[in-house]
Structure 1
Amino acid sequence: MRLLRRSNTGEFSLTEDLAGDETIPPYAILSHTWGADTEEVTFDDLTNGTGKDKLGYKKIWFCGEQAVQDGLEYFWIDTCCINKANKAELSQAINSMFRWYRNATRCYVYLSDVPTISVTSNRRKKLTRLWGSDFRKSRWFTRGWTLQELLGPVSVEFFSQERRRLGDKSSLEQLIHEITGIPKTALQGTPLSHFSVKDRFQWIGSRQTKLEEDKAYSLLGIFDVDIPLRYGEGMASAFKRLEEEINKLSTYIQDLRITDPRDDKKRIEDTKGGLLIDSYRWILENSDFQRWRDDHQSRLLWIKGDPGKGKTMLLCGIINELSKPMSQTHQLSYFFCQATDSRINNATAVLQGLLYMLVNQQPSLVSHIQKKRNPPDKSLFEGVNAWVALSEIFANILQDPNLNRTYLIVDALDECVKDLPKLLKFIVQQSSISPRVKWIASSRNEAHIEQRLQLDDSGIRLSLELKENAAQVSRAVNAYIDYCLSELPEVKHDTLLQDAVREKMQQKAIGTFLWVSLVIKELKEARAWEVLQILEEVPTELKDIYRRMIEQIKQLPRQYPELCRQVLSTVLATYRPLHLQELHALSGLPTKVQDVNQASAAIVKMCGSFLTIRDGNVYIIHQSAREFLSKEARHDLVTCGTGNIHQSIFSRSLQVMSRTIRRDMYSLCTLGYLAEQIKPPDPDPLAASRYPCIYWIDHLCDWNPSSSADNKVDLQDGGAVDSFLRQRYLY
Structure 2
Amino acid sequence: KQCIADLRVTDPRHDKRRIEGMKGSLLRDSYLWVLDNPDFRQWRNNDNQRLLWVKGDPGKGKTMLLCGIIDELERMRTEGQTLSYFLFQATDERISTAKAALRSLIYMLLEKDASLISHMEKPHAAAGRDLFEDTNGWQALCEIFENILQDPKLQGVVLVVDALDECLQGLPVFLDLVVRTSQNTTAKWLISSRNWPQIEEPLCKVAHRLSLEVNETSVTEAVNTYIEHKVSELARRKGYRDDIAREVYHYLSSNADGTFLWVALVYQELETTYSWNVLQNVKSFPLGLDALYQRMIEQTLASEDTESCKQVLALVATTYRPPSLSELMTLVGESFRMKTYREMLEGIISLCGSFLTIREDKVYFVHQSAKDFLMKSYPVVLFPNGQPSVHSQILENSIEAMSSILKRDNYNLRYPGFPIEKVKPPTPDPLSTVGYCCVYWVNHLVDAITNQDEGRNLHDGEIADSFLRTKALYWIEALSLLRGIPDSIVALDGLKQHIQDHPSASDLQAIIADVYRLLRGFRPALETRPLQCYASAIVFSPVKSLARKLFRGEAPDWVKCKPELSERWSACEATLEGHTASVLSAAFSPDGRRVVSASGDKTVKLWDAATATYEATLEGHTNRVWSAAFSPDGRRVVSASDDNTVKLWDAATATCEATLQGHTASVRSAAFSPDGRRVVSASWDKTVKLWDAATATCEATYE
State the secondary structure of the residue aligned to 2:215. helix
Cα distance, 1:705–1:379 mapped onto 2, change above 3 Å: farther
Matches within 5 A, 1:184-333: 250-326=1-77, 329-333=80-84
Q: Is 1:633 the equivalent of 2:381?
A: no
- Cα separation, 1, equivalents of 2:355 and 2:132: 34
Partner of 1:611: 356
Question: 2-side partners of 1:364 and 1:699: how far apart?
Answer: 45
Please say if residues 581 and 596 of structure 1, whose CA atoms lie closer than 8 Å, have aligned partners that are also in contact.
Answer: no
TM-superposed CA distance for 1:726, in Å, is 6.8
1:555 aligns with 2:299: no
Identity %: 45
1:350, CA displacement in angstroms?
2.0
Mark the CA change 1:337 to 1:715 in structure 2 (over 3 Å): closer, same or farther: farther
2:88/2:101 contact within 8 Å kept:
yes
The CA distance in 1 between the partners of 2:37 and 2:403, in whole Å, is 58
Contact (CA 8 Å) 1:654, 1:724: kept in 2 or not?
no
Output the amino acid matched with 2:93: S
The aligned residue for residue 94 of structure 1 is: none
**CA shift in 2, pair 1:674/1:618, >3 Å:** farther
Question: Which digits, 9 at most, give the CA deviation of each residue in 1:111-134, with x for residues without a partner?
Answer: xxxxxxxxxxxxxxxxxxxxxxxx
Alignment correspondent of 1:523: 270
TM-score between both structures, scaled by the size of structure 1: 0.60
CA 1:295–1:608 in 2, change beyond 3 Å: closer, same or farther? Answer: same
Is contact 1:546-1:625 (8 Å) kept?
A: yes
Aligned residue among 522, 534, 539 for 2:281: 534
The one of 487, 497, 509 equivalent to 2:256 is: 509
8 Å CA contact 1:491, 1:497 repeated in 2: no
- The 8 Å contact of residues 410 and 441 in structure 1, kept in 2 or not, is answered as yes
Partner residue, 2:627: none
CA distance in 1, matches of 2:12, 2:475: 36
Deviation at 1:615, TM superposition (A): 1.6
Pairwise CA distance, 1:317: 0.6
Secondary structure class of the residue paired with 2:336: coil
Q: CA deviation at 1:430?
A: 0.8
Q: How does 1:656-667 map to 2 (within 5 A)?
A: 656-663=401-408, 665=410
SS in 2 for 1:339: coil
Structure 1 or 2: larger strand share? Answer: 2
Deviates more, 1:307-316 or 1:347-356: 347-356
Residue from 186, 197, 211 that aligns with 1:447: 197
CA deviation after TM superposition for structure 1 residue 621, in Å: 0.8
Which amino acid in structure 1 is aligned with residue 203 of structure 2? Answer: L
Measured against aligned partners, the alpha-carbon deviations of 1:179-217 in whole angstroms (never above 9, x if no partner) come to xxxxxxxxxxxxxxxxxxxxxxxxxxxxxxxxxxxxxxx
1:345 and 1:418 in contact (8 A); partners too: yes
Residues 625-644 of structure 1: CA distance to partner in whole angstroms, max 9, x if unpaired?
A: 12112222222212222322
Structure 1 residue 519: Cα displacement:
0.7
1:297 Cα deviation from its structure 2 partner: 1.2
Letter of the 1:486 partner, please give it: S
Deviations 1:496-545 (A, max 9, x none): 11111000000000110000011111111222233222222211111111
Task: For residues 663-712 of structure 1, give each alpha carbon's deviation from its aligned partner in whole angstroms, at most 9, with x where no partner exists.
Answer: 45456777777667666555443321222233333333433278344222
Q: What CA deviation, in whole Å up to 9, does each residue of 1:612-660 have, x standing for no partner?
A: 1112111111111121122222222122223222222222222222333
User: Which whole-Å CA distance do the structure 2 matches of 1:301 and 1:294 have between them?
Assistant: 12
With normalisation by structure 2, the TM-score equals 0.63
For residue 339 of structure 1, report the CA deviation from its aligned partner: 1.7
Q: Pick from 119, 134, 143 the counterpart of residue 392 of structure 1.
A: 143
In 1, the alpha carbon distance for the partners of 2:418 and 2:279 equals 59
Q: 1:462 aligns with which of 210, 230, 250?
A: 210
**1:719 maps to which residue?**
466
The alpha-carbon distance between structure 1 residues 450 and 601, as it changes in their structure 2 partners (threshold 3 A), is same
> More deviation in 670-679 or 543-552?
670-679
Structure 1 letter corresponding to 2:233: E
CA distance in structure 2 between the aligned counterparts of 1:417 and 1:698, rounded to whole angstroms: 16
Give me the whole-angstrom Cα distance separating, in 2, the residues matched to 1:705 and 1:721.
21
Query: 1:585, 1:682 → 2: CA distance?
Result: 19
- Contact persistence 2:406–2:471 (CA under 8 A): no
- Structure 2 distance, partners of 1:551, 1:464, is 31
1:382/1:503 Cα in 2 relative to 1: closer, same or farther (>3 Å)? same
**705 and 444 in structure 1: CA distance in 2 versus 1, 3 angstrom threshold:** closer
For residue 104 of structure 2, what is the aligned residue in structure 1? Answer: 353
Q: Is the partner of 1:518 in helix, strand or coil?
A: helix
- Equivalent residue for 1:592, pick from 321, 338, 349: 338
- Equivalent residues of 1:705, 1:712 under 8 A apart: no
1:579 to 314, 324, 343: 324
Q: Quote the Cα distance in structure 1 between the aligned partners of 2:112 and 2:182.
A: 21
Q: Which residue of 1 aligns with 2:393?
A: 648
Aligned partner of residue 308 in structure 1, secondary structure:
coil
Could you say if the C-alpha distance between residues 683 and 709 of structure 1 is closer, same or farther in structure 2, counting changes exceeding 3 Å? Answer: closer
> What is the DSSP-based 3-state SS (H/G/I as helix, E as strand, rest coil) of the residue aligned with 2:441?
helix
Secondary structure of the corresponding residue to residue 306 of structure 1: coil
Amino acid at match of 2:18: R
Q: Give the 3-state SS of the residue equivalent to 1:318 in structure 2.
A: helix
Q: Which runs of no fewer than 5 residues in structure 1 stay unpaired?
A: 1-249
Match of 2:321, as an amino acid? R
Could you tell which deviates more after superposition, 618-627 or 392-401? 392-401
Which position in structure 2 is the counterpart of 1:487?
233
Moved more, 696-705 or 539-548: 696-705
**Aligned with 1:721: secondary structure?**
helix
Query: C-alpha separation between the residues in 2 aligned to 1:656 and 1:330?
Result: 51
Change (3 A) 1:401 1:548: same
Per-residue CA deviation, residues 218-253 of structure 1 (Å, 9 max, x unaligned), is: xxxxxxxxxxxxxxxxxxxxxxxxxxxxxxxx2222
Q: Distance in 2 between matches of 1:629 and 1:607?
A: 12
Distance (whole Å) between structure 1 residues aligned to residue 424 and residue 121 of structure 2 = 30
Corresponding letter in the other structure for 2:356: L
Q: CA–CA distance in 1 between the matches of 2:284 and 2:316?
A: 28
Structure with higher Rg: it is: 1
Q: Match of 1:607, as an amino acid? A: C
Task: Judge conservation of contact 2:239–2:275 (CA < 8 Å) in 1.
Answer: no
CA offset digits 1:89-148 (Å, max 9, x no partner): xxxxxxxxxxxxxxxxxxxxxxxxxxxxxxxxxxxxxxxxxxxxxxxxxxxxxxxxxxxx
Q: CA deviation at 1:379?
A: 2.9
Q: Name the structure 1 match of 2:494.
A: none
Counterpart of 2:161 in structure 1 is: 410
CA change 1:530–1:714 in 2 (3 A) is farther
Work out whether residues 407 and 474 of structure 2, in 8 Å CA contact, stay in contact via their aligned partners in 1: no
In the alignment, the residues of structure 2 paired with residue 326 and residue 544 of structure 1 have an alpha-carbon distance, to the nearest angstrom, of 42
Q: CA deviation at 1:351?
A: 1.6
Cα 1:252/1:310, change in 2 over 3 Å? same
3-state SS of 1:462 partner:
strand
Unaligned runs of 5+ in 2: 477-550, 555-703
Distance 2:302 2:199 in 1: 41
Contact 1:346/1:419 (CA < 8 Å) preserved in 2?
yes
Q: Is the 8 A contact 1:335 1:354 kept in 2?
A: yes
